[in-house]
Structure 1
Amino acid sequence: MKNIIKTILLSVAVLGMSSCSEDKILDLKPVNNILSPDAFTTPTLIESYMNGVYNAAAIGQYNSTGANGGRGYVWGAAYVEQGECRGEDVVNMATFYDLTYSSTFDATSANNVYYWVDGYRLINRCNLMIEGTTDAVAKGIITKAAGDDYIGQCKFLRAITHLELLTYFARPYNDTPGATHAGIPYRVVGVNTQAEIDSETVKPRNTVADCYTKILADLNDAETLITTGNSTAFASRVVGRASKWAAIAFKTRLYLQKRDWANVIVEGNKLTGAFALTADPYAPFQNTTGRNTSNSESIFSIQHAATSNPGVNAALASMLKDRALVCISPIIWRDADWKTDDKRREEGKFIYTAAGIKYTNKYTDVTNRTDAAPVIRYAEVVLNMAEAQARLSNSAPALTLLNSVRNRSLANPFPTAGNPVGQAYTAASFATDADLVKAILKERRIEFLQEGRRWTDIHRLQKDPIASVATNGVPAKVASAATPPTAAFVLGNSFAITTPVAAIPYDDFRFLWPIPQIEMNTNPGLGQNPGWN
């Protein structure tokens, strides 16, 4: 079967090439280099192919890098780095992330091009795995239970990757009534033949509403089908693999983005008792707790090893600590709502200081780059539910949920003889439900700093009557490719923050990334995002 598995760059449009014989089409192979027709002939090979799917999620390929070498697109590192650099709470210190940070990208910029490329490459691996596994079950090679588990894992990865791509290439759900505006193509066909390439290349965009419906269906299937790692004892869970818990957690994220507050709460309540916030807020990131794996809070993380990670040009500890390419922004560091004695400011735990500049210390293995990428943890689920309750004017449970995350980081949450006031929020802290929502949104910025959550929140909060970013689009930022003054990080002094990187209004075309030009060359009927034509 000569060259049968040459596919999948760019929503299976294969880098703009129309023939399987083109030199630029990259081979899609699992980690063990078994070609697709043979990959599903034994249980061992099927498991190896599944490992290849996770490898694609963790490593990605970037530009001309070889197989198993890349930049962590989508889930291994890039979603953290790109998601933060689109927002205002970090500073791009060099030129590496300047296009993302300054919104000076175009339809050929590698960072956004390969977000699309590797996102759809992963989706295609998932689709091939689903089809191959279904066939293997029919032939009796593996049991139906084993097959369902694999299929559930792939549906989970397919769903969350489509959801991630939507936040960069499509307007948020509430942009139009009924979310009838253009989304992205929702791919469910595995492509490894020329006929499939020809068919899938001309597939149009789904609407955002249709994408959400399909994402939810995949997550519901994943919740039902996956049996691996579903123990309620965290020591027995496999955080580096999809689980029913991860599917449920992502449904709280999806419903939050959809503004379906009631269902955020329904799904979040399913995780009660299965997960718990760690007493020490730094515990999920400590080496002793597996760097986002072996603790009661981590739900799904992408695992790395010394021999398999995004490398010096992408791994989280490399970019955010060792090479110090992105620091914490004075905008959030000096925010008055972030208490000066908050544990999340603690040097040597959350914070690493070099030459007076503050960096995240959530990712510390600069030698082997084994820090797992924290895709979703229970603190997010709790704050998702807190926001949903507050939006529904259920202030008491919202306050309890917010404080459960925030209080563990406070030096003096409750009144004592020496501190008769206490730092925890009370009902009297908020004059209105809107004020409570704003506090929850601020807490998200502090709690998930340098975890890739900022852009998703900015994106979903456009047109929101409460959020401060509702009319701002991409927020204004401090200078790019420059080191902030050390005085900006000294709390208690007077310092005026300047933001020469101007805000980009929501109605500006640069709010969205353009569909990559190599995709448009192959499928012009897809329709470029307005303004990028």
Structure 2
Amino acid sequence: MKKLTIYTAILLAFTAGSCKKFLEQPPDNRAELTSPEQVSRLLGTAYPQANYAGFCESSSDNVADKGAGIIENFNVDAYRFNEINDDQQDSPELYWNSCYAAIAVANLALETCRNADNPEAYSAQKGEALLARAYAHFMLVTIFAEVYDPATADTDPGIPYVTVPENVVFKNYERKTVAYVYDMIEKDLLTGLPLIDDKTYSVPRYHFNRAAANAFAARFYLFKRDYEKVVAYVNQVFPTNNAANMLRPWNTTYRTMTYQELFAVYARATEPANLLLCETQSVWGRYYYTLRYSLTAAKRNEVLFRNVTGGQWSFQNHVYTAGTDNYLIPKINEHFVRNNVNANIGLPYVVVPLFTAEEALLNRAEANALLNNTAAAMTDLNTYAATRINNYSAAVHAVTSAKVQSYYGTNLQTGLLRTALDFKRAEFVQEGMRWFDILRYRIPITHTTREGETYTLTGDDPRRLFQIPESATIAGISRNPR
């Protein structure tokens, strides 16, 4: 049976034989969820367990043609702005399916919370489920629909917002509008966030803890262009104004690490910069530096060798080579999970930081720049630079009005905005995050090949929307225009 795009909630959460046999079971036999602790364990799977980094990074302006390298559909087709006809690891289709799988788990958890004899005891679980449901829908609408624009959001097609557990295999869905999806995300976000209780988690970094929930709210409102709220929610990520202590120490502790040590620490739950982590099925850790279309010497120089401070990024100390024109920063470390202890086969996984202190801080800097709060924006940019520039000296390397206007040749406000975006680009290179800024600012991209082919993506090109999987048409979902 061909894989469907929206499954029944229980079928996703608890794999059980064939669809027919599963649906023949009485509802009370589907699962035993009789305590808040059991719901919490279930919610550990309410996060998309697939990776967007491969197809997002391959579509961005962080990559170029090396002329040779590993060939993967998600890399080749994304670089050429073609539809990615693949449902394997690191494909848009797998990400779509995994988001709806996560949503199904969240809806099952919410149903359990509602129907419990003592629903007040499930308050924290309800909060996490609402945040998880909102996040998966947010990522879907970001990747597969038009970026939010208040002038067109009421007519732009969105994605299905699923709020109830499914009890049938085949069910029709409608996309509604981007505005509707954003309204539903906001409702879940604002209802769920106050209920989050970090004390309920044994490892908070694998769940929507308070810091991660506020970072998500800040990202959501950045996309929605409500910049005052971006600032307010990032302030809650750093309630004691402790951003500097939460950033990765690239120019101190990290600088002296070996690449093996960096691989080990980057996505670790004890790293203060990591606000929310998720294990995802992915070959990205295996191939992200050897793919044909990836970080080349020219792109390395463009992204990592120049910045407005006049100093040198500490990232440069950890740009490693693995053969000709294969450049990597040790971030994405594969964990191979064998089918069983005696098996020689299994699946590759990588742990992905979904939200970080760095993103939150730079989102606040961007929001303040857009609000023309230039002093506040420069404060955050300097906090960031102080942990990223080799041999940092405020007297030498501080971001100043004069430097910004001279470096970018613009007014101060525009220059600060470009500084925030360039800092983000350097920070998240090889993680796929650049694509989201490209979407928000409709940044045009031109990809060329060694054979002289040119592929251009304009700011309003419909191919900026990844294609709705063809299998989704089974559920009545219309595809994106081409």
* Superposition TM-score, scaled by structure 2 size: 0.79
Letter in 1 for 2:478: G
Deviation at 1:250, TM superposition (A): 0.6
List alignment gaps of at least 5 residues for structure 2: 10-15, 255-260, 338-347, 406-410
After superposition, the Cα gap between the structure-2 partners of 1:240 and 1:427, relative to the gap in structure 1 and judged at 3 Å, is same
Quote the Cα distance in structure 1 between the aligned partners of 2:189 and 2:36.
25
Cα separation, partners in 2 of 1:108 and 1:115, compared to 1, 3 Å: same
Task: Work out which of the residue numbers 256, 268, 271 in structure 2 matches 1:295.
Answer: 271
Is the CA contact 1:389–1:395 (under 8 Å) kept in the aligned structure 2?
Answer: yes
Q: Is the 8 A contact 1:108 1:516 kept in 2?
A: no
Which of 445, 460, 463 pairs up with 2:440? 460
Correspondence list, 1:415-434, <5 A: 422-431=396-405, 432=411, 433-434=413-414
- Residues 375-408 of structure 1, C-alpha deviations (whole Å, 9 max, x = no match): 1101111110101111111111101111211231
Q: Partners of 2:478 and 2:399 in 1: how far apart?
A: 48
- Picking from 342, 363, 370, the partner of 2:313 is 342
Following TM superposition, by how much is the alpha carbon of 1:367 offset from its aligned partner in structure 2, in angstroms?
A: 6.3
2:480 partner amino acid:
N
Q: Report the secondary structure of 1:477's partner residue.
A: strand
Counterparts of 1:513 and 1:156, CA distance in 2: 24
Give how far 1:86 is off. Answer: 1.7
Q: 1:426 to 1:47 in 2, by over 3 A?
A: closer
2:466 is the alignment partner of 1:517: no
- Does the CA-based 8 Å contact 2:315-2:329 persist in structure 1? no
Q: Following TM superposition, by how much is the alpha carbon of 1:461 offset from its aligned partner in structure 2, in angstroms?
A: 1.1
The answer as to 2:64 corresponding to 1:95 is no
Contact 2:193/2:210, CA 8 A, preserved across alignment:
yes
Change (3 A) 1:130 1:379: same
**Equivalent in 505, 523, 531 of residue 458 of structure 2:** 505
Distance 2:336 2:97 in 1: 29
* Contact 2:4-2:471 at 8 Å conserved across structures: no
Partner residue in 1 for 2:140: 165
Q: 1:427 to 1:499 in 2, by over 3 A?
A: farther
User: Partner letter of residue 461 of structure 1?
Assistant: Y
Q: What residue number does 1:387 align with?
A: 366
Q: Report the secondary structure of 1:514's partner residue.
A: coil
Q: What SS does structure 1 have at the residue aligned with 2:397?
A: coil
Q: Partner of 1:9 in structure 2?
A: 4
> Using the alignment, how far apart are the partners of 1:158 and 1:8 within structure 2?
21
Contact 2:134 2:189 in 1 (8 A): yes
Among residues 312, 319, 327, which one is paired with 2:287 in the alignment? 319
- Indicate the residue corresponding to 1:529 in structure 2: 480
SS at match of 2:328: strand
C-alpha displacement of 1:413: 3.5
Identity fraction in percent: 22
CA contact (8 A) 2:262 2:330 kept: no
Closer/same/farther in 2, CA of residues 499 and 167 from structure 1, 3 Å limit: farther
- Which residue is 1:127 aligned to? 107
The one-letter amino acid paired with 2:323 is: A
Distance in 1 between residues matched to 2:269 and 2:352, nearest whole Å: 9
Q: In the aligned structure 2, how far is the partner of 1:48 from the partner of 1:415? A: 47
Structure 1, unaligned runs of 5 or more: 1-5, 15-20, 29-33, 59-72, 304-308, 417-421, 463-468, 483-497
Q: From the superposition, tell whether residues 439 and 42 of structure 1 become closer, same or farther in structure 2 (CA, over 3 Å).
A: closer
User: AA paired with 2:55?
Assistant: Q
Q: Against the structure 1 CA distance between its residues 109 and 294, is the aligned structure 2 distance closer, same or farther, given a 3 Å change threshold?
A: closer
Question: Is residue 2:72 matched to residue 1:79?
Answer: no
**Correspondence list, 1:255-274, <5 A:** 255-272=221-238, 273=240
- Which 4+ runs in 1 deviate beyond 4 A? 21-28, 42-45, 106-110, 282-285, 287-290, 323-326, 365-371, 498-501
Q: Matches of 1:257 and 1:330 in 2, distance apart?
A: 32
Whole-Å separation in 2 of the counterparts to 1:529 and 1:53: 26
Does the Cα contact within 8 Å between 1:8 and 1:191 map onto a contact in 2? no
Q: How does 1:131-530 map to 2 (within 5 A)?
A: 131-135=111-115, 137-138=116-117, 140=118, 144-145=120-121, 147-174=122-149, 176-177=151-152, 179-193=154-168, 197-198=170-171, 201=172, 203-229=173-199, 238-272=204-238, 273=240, 276-278=245-247, 280-281=249-250, 286=262, 289=265, 291-303=267-279, 310=281, 314-320=282-288, 327-335=294-302, 337-338=306-307, 341-347=312-318, 351-364=320-333, 372-414=351-393, 422-431=396-405, 432=411, 433-462=413-442, 469=443, 472=444, 475-479=445-449, 500-523=453-476, 526-530=477-481
Equivalents in 1 of 2:103, 2:352: separation in Å?
A: 19
Report the structure, 1 or 2, having the larger helix content.
Answer: 2
Q: 1:499 to 1:333 in 2, by over 3 A?
A: farther
Mapped contact 2:247–2:358 kept (Cα < 8 A): no
CA RMSD, Structure 1 to Structure 2 (Å): 3.5
Contact 2:378–2:400 (CA under 8 A) maintained in structure 1: yes
Change (3 A) 1:395 1:410: same
Conserved 8 A contact 1:173-1:257: yes
Contact 1:222 1:243 in 2 (8 A): no
Q: Partners of 1:25 and 1:102 in 2: how far apart?
A: 41
2:30 to 37, 46, 50: 37
Count of residues paired in the alignment: 436
Q: How far did residue 504 of structure 1 move?
A: 1.5
- Which letter does structure 2 place at the counterpart of 1:357? N
In the superposition, relative to structure 1, how do residues 212 and 443 fare at CA in structure 2: closer, same or farther (>3 Å)? same
* Pair 27,160 (structure 1): closer, same or farther in 2 beyond 3 Å: farther
Give the stretch that moved more between structures: 174-183 or 123-132.
174-183
Deviation at 1:192, TM superposition (A): 2.5
- How far apart, in 2, do the equivalents of 1:213 and 1:530 lie? 24
Q: Distance in 2 between matches of 1:324 and 1:124?
A: 34
Contact residue 477 and residue 499 of structure 1 kept, 8 A: no
User: Aligned equivalents of 2:61 and 2:298: distance in 1?
Assistant: 7
TM-score for the superposition, normalised by structure 1: 0.72
Structure 1 distance, partners of 2:333, 2:153, is: 44
CA contact (8 A) 1:327 1:360 kept: no
**1:36: how far off?**
6.6
